[in-house]
């Protein structure tokens, strides 16, 4: 993976505005598979369903042609499924594309600082892993 500043999050091929920080959380539900035959009474587990979410934080920039917090609000309010891109943008970088929904959106408007936003996307389905060519 490239340096953090080179990781991008796109919604339907448009980069999020003012992006400053991104994170990806991947998980697997674990089913207990412990039996009387488990060695020395150690619990055993098997992976089951998997899930992923992506979070992004950025600065609100007026007049941008990139995806803005207002766009994200509209997608959240309508329950619109989007194609989410997470990863590098330079040749050879790894990236993931997957269907997702805007799960949350927070805007901060402090009188003594720049306006910021944070958004969380819930992945729906299995991501496709690819390499930038």
pLDDT tens figures, 18-45: 889 999 999 999 999 999 999 999 999 9
pLDDT of residue 77: 97
Q: Is 52 helix (H, G, I), strand (E, B) or coil?
A: strand
Mean pLDDT of 47-69: 91
* Measured distance CA(43)–CA(68) in Å, rounded: 47
User: What structural domains and CATH numbers belong to the chain?
Assistant: 4-34+41-131 (2.30.110.20)
Whole-model pTM: value is 0.87
pLDDT digits (tens, 9 = 90+) for 89-113: 889 999 999 999 999 999 998 889 8
* Measured distance CA(112)–CA(95) in Å, rounded: 36
* Percentage of the residues of the chain whose pLDDT score is greater than 70: 95
- State yes or no: pLDDT of 5 exceeds 70: no
Give the E-state strand segments of 33-77 in sequence order: 45-59
* Measured distance CA(105)–CA(33) in Å, rounded: 38
117, 71 Cβ separation under 8 angstroms: no
- Comparing 33 with 4, which gets the higher pLDDT? 33
pLDDT of residue 65: 85
């Amino acid at each position: 993976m490239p340096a953090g500043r080179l990781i991008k999050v796109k919604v339907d091929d448009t980069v999020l505005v003012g992006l400053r920080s991104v994170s990806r959380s991947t998980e697997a539900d674990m089913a207990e598979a412990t039996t009387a035959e488990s060695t020395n009474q150690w619990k055993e587990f098997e992976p089951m369903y998997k899930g992923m979410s992506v979070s992004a934080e950025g600065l609100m920039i007026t007049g941008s042609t990139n995806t803005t917090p207002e766009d994200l609000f509209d997608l959240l309010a309508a329950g619109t499924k989007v194609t989410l891109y997470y990863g590098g943008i330079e040749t050879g970088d790894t990236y993931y594309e997957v269907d997702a929904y805007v799960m949350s959106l927070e805007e901060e408007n402090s009188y003594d600082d720049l306006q910021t936003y944070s958004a969380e996307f819930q992945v729906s389905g299995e991501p496709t892993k690819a390499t930038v060519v």
